[in-house]
Structure 1
Amino acid sequence: MSDFISDFWSHYVTVVVLASILACALLLWVTARTRAPTGSDNTTGHVWDEDLREMNNPLPRWWVGMFVLTIVFGLGYLVAYPGLGSYGGELGWSTRSEYAGDVAAADRALEPVYAKYAAMAPEQVAGEPGAMAIGERLFLNNCAQCHGSDARGSKGFPNLTDNDWLHGGTPDKIRETITQGRTGVMPPMAAAVGTPDDVKNVANYVLSLSGSPHDSLRAGLGKSKFTACAACHGIGGVGNQAMGAPNLRDNIWLHGYGQEAIIAIINNGKTNQMPPQQGRLTEAQIQVLASYVWGMSNKAAAAP
């Protein structure tokens, strides 16, 4: 309820909740005082199945008492706990604080486990079976949704099991990426390249860099136009990890393969984002997770 961006909705919820409780109390009071017309035998005159007559007996007092207690309990609950719009309750309890408390308690319980790995180099952590079991769970819970449970990625999501890294594959760079996140932006480059025919030529030149099938005549014409791309991708398309610009010579295609896919990226640009995990994971968890990710692409070095 604290996420309301307008006081109107807080007041609206408060009015609806209190009006509902008041309506229940009013209904109970009205029905207790109202008597349906009955005959001398205390029946209402309604008869079913020839001899089944409806009596006009009041609710038992214990039942009425339960209704009253429910109303009183409801009002007491709304004073103590959230329920009236943005009012947080006198006890200050919330599901968010309850969750934060549970997470903090779990972190405290795991501190001794992580303390052992915090004092180790990432390469050593990657060789510890216990640390890698923890890293696997962290990866499945926080990374697999995008990179896949096997960490091989998919279109638009990098494969973490090879040695092709946009921003660097050292343990420190991986930890930096996990902590701060990454935003990769390639602006639309069609205007800088030239005509649509020039764009197609550059696309074929890019394909030629990795030895992929291409039109060699167009690739030759596109080489001079590639200078518009070299500022990020480097002369010859070797990439630039400082900028997150991909290596175009390795035949690894993050956003699709082939002439049409490359033309679409040149024309429209591309933005990719990995959200930062700082605040969601502790530094110790990030240390183990970064070691786990590094170990997946350096299995021989990480082997115990």
Structure 2
Amino acid sequence: MSDFFSGFWGPFIAAISILGIVFCLWLLFTQRRYLGKEVENSEDTGHVWDGDLTELNNPVPRWWTVFYILLCVFAVGYLVLYPGLGTFKGVLNYSTAESVKQSQEALAEQIRPVYARFEAMPIPEVAKDPQAREIGQRLFLNACAQCHGSDAKGSPSFPNLTDKDWLYGGSPEQIMQSITKGRHGIMPPMAAQVSAADAAAIAQYVRSLSGLAADPLQVVPGKRGFENFCVACHGVDGKGNQALGAPNLTDDIWLYSSSSAAIVGAILNGHNNRMPAQETVLTPEQIRMLAAYVWGFSNN
């Protein structure tokens, strides 16, 4: 709570917290004539239920008053010790982020012996080890299955990890880099430069590159449009560029769809995909184990 992007929110939150406690004490003070007094004849509010259940205006018990005040004292003490007053970090300088970090470090130290015997093994050898694959599977299900699926075959916009079609390369080192640092693939929208008709022609040419049915009358102008707008990323032959994450357009593997409408939409509107980095979530040993497990999908 002590980290804000704007200078306004710190004082605002602090004021809300302090005024809330002050209001509680003010409310108790203004009602003090009803607190702890013994009343011989209780005031009847006039509300009666079920014939004989009457609501009376009795004073609250003394224990309730004491408990109420103690809660206010506790609130003040908490705000002094812990973050809660805007940018004030508290006397104890406690941070939930630091607490999580310490827990992660303690866990990493605890499980380090499990990974120790795999440190000197090449990743292809790790991928063959039954125990390593079991560990890798658990890591994959926790960190990767949400996007790539429990079978790693992906879904539209999430790559299939079981084939040999890699956007950024399928070597152990490249997979580790993808897991560690994440990836951010951007296909820029071309609507400002390419008309809908030209995009339709380019789509027909792209379909022809992978052997799909295409309008022969559109292929030739589509090729010209491809050479003008697409070769910088996908290459003259359409085989892509792993340095940029530009996909190969000549195979039968499509990250989104091979339909003409989907290709036209990609050309005009672009795509913006992000794979989150795992270096703050997983330890280097876990990333290496996970990379070996993923590498094993397409390398038996």
Give the TM-score, by structure 1 length: 0.84
**1: distance between equivalents of 2:244 and 2:232?**
10
Write the deviation string for residues 216-255 of structure 1: whole angstroms up to 9, x where unpaired: 3322443344323333323332222233221111111112
Aligned length, in residue pairs: 295
**Where do 1:242-253 residues align within 5 Å?**
242-253=243-254
Q: Give the structure 2 partner of residue 43 of structure 1.
A: 41
**2: distance between equivalents of 1:171 and 1:53?**
75
Identity percentage of aligned residues: 46
Q: Give the structure 1 partner of residue 61 of structure 2.
A: 59
Q: Equivalent residue of 2:31, what SS?
A: helix
Q: Equivalent residue of 2:185, what SS?
A: strand
Q: Give the structure 2 partner of residue 218 of structure 1.
A: 218
Check conservation: 1:37, 1:44, Cα contact below 8 A: no
**Where do 1:222-241 residues align within 5 Å?**
222-228=222-228, 229-241=230-242
Residue 139 (structure 1) shift: 1.7
**2: distance between equivalents of 1:31 and 1:200?**
76
Check conservation: 2:43, 2:58, Cα contact below 8 A: no
Q: Which amino acid aligns with 1:17?
A: S
Residue 144 (structure 1) shift: 1.8
Residue 271 (structure 1) shift: 2.7
**Structure 1 residues without counterparts, runs of 5 or longer:** 300-304
Q: Equivalent residue of 1:291, what SS?
A: helix
Check conservation: 1:36, 1:56, Cα contact below 8 A: no
Q: Which amino acid aligns with 2:216?
A: S
Q: Give the structure 2 partner of residue 4 of structure 1.
A: 4
* 1:283 matches 2:284: yes
Structure 1 residues 74 and 174: alpha-carbon distance in aligned structure 2, compared to 1, 3 A threshold: same
**2: distance between equivalents of 1:222 and 1:54?**
85
**1: distance between equivalents of 2:8 and 2:224?**
61
More displaced 10-residue stretch of structure 1: 162-171 or 77-86: 77-86
Residue 34 (structure 1) shift: 5.3
**2: distance between equivalents of 1:213 and 1:101?**
57
Which structure: larger Rg?
A: 1
Check conservation: 2:4, 2:87, Cα contact below 8 A: yes
Q: Which amino acid aligns with 2:201?
A: N
Residue 290 (structure 1) shift: 0.8
Residue 176 (structure 1) shift: 1.3
Give the TM-score, by structure 2 length: 0.85
**Structure 2 residues without counterparts, runs of 5 or longer:** none
Q: Equivalent residue of 1:223, what SS?
A: helix
More displaced 10-residue stretch of structure 1: 63-72 or 145-154: 63-72
Q: Which amino acid aligns with 2:93?
A: G
Residue 122 (structure 1) shift: 0.7
Q: Which amino acid aligns with 2:61?
A: L
**Where do 1:84-95 residues align within 5 Å?**
84-95=85-96
Residue 45 (structure 1) shift: 5.1
**1: distance between equivalents of 2:40 and 2:156?**
78
Structure 1 residues 219 and 56: alpha-carbon distance in aligned structure 2, compared to 1, 3 A threshold: closer
**1: distance between equivalents of 2:21 and 2:177?**
53
**2: distance between equivalents of 1:208 and 1:144?**
33
Q: Give the structure 1 partner of residue 155 of structure 2.
A: 154
Q: Equivalent residue of 2:157, what SS?
A: coil
**Where do 1:157-236 residues align within 5 Å?**
157-189=158-190, 196-228=196-228, 229-236=230-237
Q: Which amino acid aligns with 1:10?
A: G
